[in-house]
């Protein structure tokens, strides 16, 4: 597809990179020559210098022929206006990043009048991501498939764990009492592995497993990684993410306590959300955290503007024994470092935004092909992907036993959902029309047929 990205910032650059790898024709528009020069050497895209609201610029970028326009500049207003201009010029679909909550109050009106098809609110996306992490506190990350029937969760193996040194094919013969889950992917160092029967789990591995919620919960209990439900959360910083997150958590009857340094902002926050308790003070001050009873909270979420503060406070909470710690971190390349330090649940606003946009683009691309993925999740920062497909009525691989359908070595058929029942596939199984199938792959796969040799 022909895609125009307006704004060559962090988010713009990273989604451009992902879209190019997926084979789309990408044009990047930015006002800054410096940003474009940086991208010119690393991305196989066309660069157009100019303002995204300028008709000439958009014409040069090929807006009349564009399938999707994605506006992710720093300014909400430019993003909205760029979408309107591009749509009026003939672009087919427009995605805008809009951050200011003021606009979100009249969002449907704005979207209709400004011809915006999809609005991305990074702060709200972040809040949703974190609330899901708190709902399943035992996993580092969680992705949902097949309308909530399948969950993909992960845990990190420590020295002396039950599963350490175990080959996957021996797992259920040696430990028959373990609930049956599918081992979907393993992150070892910087490498992503698609596990096979002879894969041996090692300490420090980050292991992704898939099954329905109940089974997966029992599995985590059995291997001693279970954390019971979160009832109270302390949040560092009273920004926009905290606002959206507190709303979600309060709806789930979870007690929220917010620590904010600035008195004025703390007061405003309390005014907006009277049910939350707000504490004025320095969230990096350990004494304050202790005196406010951090060690009695079930979870601690650090959402201040500074990565360093978030990480240090997170590490401190971890040492105090807080069961679940989520830190906000904007540097993607530190994610695995944080994991190694025990901060499994790190969230990055850029990654969350990027994934949401990619998912939308995928859906648009899928609309052109019946056989394309319904949902896509990027695991381990894109090293592997989890895709959900619906088996088409006329697909050539229907009714063929799986052992005869040779699956490529870098792919794994993880779960089949048939008539609401989740099953971990075995060699004798075969695919049936209307099955939902979750597949784990390394590298680009467009259709379900692509994973077979």
Partner 1 sequence: MNGRLILGILGRLMVLEAAMMLPSLGVALAYREGDAAGFVWTILILLAVGLPAMLLSPARREVCTREGLVVVSLAWVLMSMFGALPFLFSGSISSPVDALFETVSGFTTTGASILPEVEGLPHGILFWRSFTHWVGGMGVLVLTLAVMPKLSGRGSVLARAESPGPTFSKVAPRMHDTARVMYAIYTGMTLLQLGLMLLSDLPLFDAAIHTLGTAGTGGFSNRNLSMGAYNNPWAEMITMVFMLLFGMNFVVYVRLLRGDGWKSFRSAEVGAYWAMAAVSTLLIAVQILPEYSSFLSALRYSSFQVSSIMSTTGYATANFALWPQFTHVLLLLLMVVGACAGSTSGGIKVSRVVILGKAMAREIGQAVAPRKVRLIKMDGRLISEQTVRSVLVFLFIYIAFLFLGTLAASSDGHDFVSSFSAAASCLSNIGPGLGVVGPAGNYGVFSPAVKMFLSFLMLAGRLEFIPLLALFHRELWGKGH
Instruction: Indicate the residue among 41 and 287 with the shorter CB distance to partner 1.
Output: 41
Dist. CA 432–CA 163, nearest whole Å:
34
Residue 374 half-sphere exposure toward CB, CA atoms < 13 A: 15
CB 185 within 8 A of CB 153: no
Q: Which residue, 26 or 233, is less far from partner 1 as judged by CB?
A: 26
Q: Which one-letter DSSP state was computed for residue 197?
A: T
Nearer to partner 1, 5 or 294 (CB): 5
Cα–Cα nearest to 141, from 344, 407, 293: 344
Closer residue to partner 1 (CB): 49 or 331: 49
Give least dist CB 45 to partner 1, A.
5
In DSSP notation, 226-270 reads: --PPP-EEEEE--SHHHHHHHHHHHHTT-EEEEEES-HHHHHHHH
Minimum CB–partner distance for residue 30 and partner 1 (Å): 14
- Helices 33-42 and 10-21 cross at an angle (nearest 10°) of 30
Cα 450 to Cα 103, 215, 263, 442, distances in angstroms: 42, 30, 56, 12
Q: In angstroms, what is the minimal distance from the CB of 38 to partner 1?
A: 12
Alpha-carbon span 332 to 379, nearest angstrom: 13
Taking a C-beta distance cutoff of 8 angstroms, is the pair 233, 301 a contact?
A: yes
| Cβ(273)–Cβ(247) below 8 Å | yes
Closest CB to partner 1 among 192 and 266?
192
Q: What's the rounded Cα separation, in Å, for the pair 249 and 241? A: 12
Least Cβ distance, residue 41 to partner 1 (angstroms): 6
C-alpha pair distances (Å), 129 with each of 95, 122, 356: 20, 10, 11
Dist CA 54 CA 424 (whole Å): 53
Residue placing its CB nearer to partner 1 in the complex, 36 or 249: 36
Q: How far is the CB of 70 from partner 1 (least distance, A)?
A: 14
Cα 243 to its chain centre, rounded Å, is 20
Cβ neighbours for 217, distance < 8 A, ≥ 6 positions apart: 138, 226
Nearer to partner 1 among residue 26 and residue 72 (C-beta): 26
**Is the CB of 66 or the CB of 438 nearer to partner 1?**
66
- Of 342 and 444, the one with the shorter C-beta distance to partner 1 is 444
Burial class (CB in 10 A: 0-12, 13-18, 19+), 264: exposed
Q: How many CB atoms lie within 10 A of CB 202?
A: 16
Query: What is the spatial order of strands in the sheet that 255-260 belongs to?
Result: 277-280, 255-260, 232-236, 299-302, 324-328, 345-347
Q: Which of 27/302 has CB closer to partner 1?
A: 27
Shortest Å distance, C-beta 407 to partner 1: 23
Minimum distance between the CB of residue 42 and partner 1, rounded to whole angstroms?
7
Tell me which residue of 74, 33, 83 sits closest to 53, measured CA to CA. 83
CB 245, min distance to partner 1, A: 38
Residue nearer to partner 1 on the CB measure, 46 or 178? 46
> What is the distance in angstroms between the CA of the first residue and the CA of the last residue of the chain?
26
Least separation, in Å, of the C-beta of 25 and partner 1?
4
Using the Cα atoms of residue 256, residue 259, residue 263 and residue 268 in order, give the sign of their dihedral.
Answer: negative
Alpha helix locations (H) across 273-348?
286-291, 307-320, 335-340
Cβ closest to partner 1, residue 47 vs residue 349: 47
Q: Which residues bind partner 1 (CB under 8 A)?
A: 2, 20, 25-27, 33, 40-42, 44-47, 49
């Amino acid at each position: 597809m022909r895609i125009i990205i307006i704004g060559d910032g962090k988010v713009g650059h990273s989604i451009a990179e992902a879209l190019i790898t997926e084979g789309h024709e990408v044009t990047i528009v930015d006002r800054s020559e410096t940003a474009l020069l940086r991208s010119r050497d690393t991305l196989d895209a066309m660069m157009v210098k100019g303002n995204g609201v300028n008709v000439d610029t958009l014409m040069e970028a090929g807006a009349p022929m564009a399938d999707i326009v994605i506006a992710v500049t720093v300014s909400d207003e430019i993003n909205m206006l760029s979408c309107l201009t591009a749509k009026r010029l003939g672009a087919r679909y427009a995605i805008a990043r809009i951050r200011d909550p003021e606009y979100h109050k009249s969002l449907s009106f704005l979207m209709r009048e400004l011809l915006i098809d999809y609005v991305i609110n990074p702060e709200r996306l972040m809040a949703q991501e974190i609330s899901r992490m708190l709902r399943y506190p035992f996993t580092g990350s969680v992705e949902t498939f097949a309308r909530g029937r399948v969950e993909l969760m992960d845990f990190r193996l420590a020295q002396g764990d039950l599963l350490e040194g175990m080959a996957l094919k021996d797992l259920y013969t040696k430990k028959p009492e373990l609930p049956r889950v599918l081992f979907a992917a393993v992150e070892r160092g910087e490498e992503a592995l698609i596990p096979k029967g002879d894969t041996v789990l090692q300490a420090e591995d980050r292991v992704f497993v898939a099954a329905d919620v109940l089974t997966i919960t029992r599995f985590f209990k059995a291997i001693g990684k279970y954390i019971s439900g979160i009832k109270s959360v302390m949040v560092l910083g009273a920004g926009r993410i905290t606002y959206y997150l507190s709303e979600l958590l309060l709806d789930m009857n979870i007690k929220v306590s917010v620590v904010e340094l600035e008195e004025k902002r703390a007061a405003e926050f309390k005014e907006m959300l009277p049910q939350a308790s707000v504490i004025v003070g320095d969230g990096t001050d350990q004494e304050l955290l202790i005196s406010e009873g951090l060690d009695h909270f079930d979870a601690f979420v650090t959402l201040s503007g500074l990565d360093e503060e978030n990480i240090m406070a997170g590490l401190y909470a971890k040492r105090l024994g807080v069961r679940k710690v989520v830190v906000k971190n904007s540097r993607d390349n530190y994610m695995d470092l944080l994991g190694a330090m025990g901060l499994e649940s790190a969230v990055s606003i850029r990654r969350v935004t990027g994934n949401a946009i990619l998912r939308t683009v995928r859906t648009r691309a899928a609309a052109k092909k019946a056989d394309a993925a319904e949902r896509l999740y990027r695991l381990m920062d894109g090293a592997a992907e989890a895709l959900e497909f619906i088996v088409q009525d006329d697909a050539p691989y229907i009714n063929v036993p799986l052992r005869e359908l040779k699956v490529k070595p870098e792919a794994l058929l993880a779960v089949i959902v048939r008539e609401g029942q989740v099953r971990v596939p075995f060699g004798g199984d075969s695919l049936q029309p209307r099955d939902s199938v979750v597949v784990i792959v390394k590298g680009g796969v467009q259709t379900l047929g692509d994973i077979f040799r």
